[in-house]
Amino acid sequence: MSEELPPSDAGEDEAVDEVRATDADAWSTACAEDLAAEKARRRAEYGPPPGSAAEELRKLVDAVADKLSTLQSPLLGAVAGPAAQQVVKQVVEQAKAAVEPVIERNPDVFDHLAAAGTELLAAYRSAVQAQERRWTTGDQDLDERRDRGDDSGPGERIDLD
């Protein structure tokens, strides 16, 4: 004796799949629209986001080069002024020519260096804040234990004899 299942309605399953696909598309579309609106709001409020570290370095080199090119040196006098300015422009162009290939070949290195610098700054800030907290709260307990030779602190005494 075999049990026969009622025939499944293939059209019904396709309709459910279509509704799910439409819901997923609607959700992703709504998310994309919200994200675009938020990005536009932030750009309007804070200006354009900063570029990569390589782009920022390129902007810095260009700004320094422009500034050095326009400087007039009163120390060199009127006679050496044009010649000195030409030398400065030549040095600036050579520096830009040397920096540009390095930036082009290794743009991600500058991002890593920027991240490492940020982490070092955070570690330094944490150490300074901890020391300042000890100074301002008058936590002399640690200093007194060191002065008395009390080794009950968090470290372990190592006998070197």
The two tokens of residue 75 are 């120390």
What per-residue confidence (pLDDT) applies to 78?
54
- pLDDT for 56-85, tens place per residue? 888 888 888 888 777 665 655 555 566 777
Residue 125 lies in a domain: no
- Which among 57, 145, 61 has a CA at the least distance from the CA of 108? 57
Residue 156 lies in a domain: no
What per-residue confidence (pLDDT) applies to 65?
81
Residue 155 lies in a domain: no
Residue 80 lies in a domain: no
What per-residue confidence (pLDDT) applies to 16?
53
The two tokens of residue 133 are 């907290």
Ranges of the chain whose pLDDT falls below 70: 1-24, 71-82, 139-156, 161
Residue 70 lies in a domain: no
| DSSP code per residue over 51-96 | --HHHHHHHHHHHHHHHHHH---TTSHHHHHHHHHHHHHHHHHHHH
What per-residue confidence (pLDDT) applies to 7?
56
Residue 116 lies in a domain: no
Model's pTM, two decimal places?
A: 0.42
What per-residue confidence (pLDDT) applies to 120?
94
Total number of domains in the chain: 1
Residue 92 lies in a domain: no
Residue 109 lies in a domain: no
| DSSP code per residue over 41-57 | HHHHHH-SPP--HHHHH
What per-residue confidence (pLDDT) applies to 55?
84
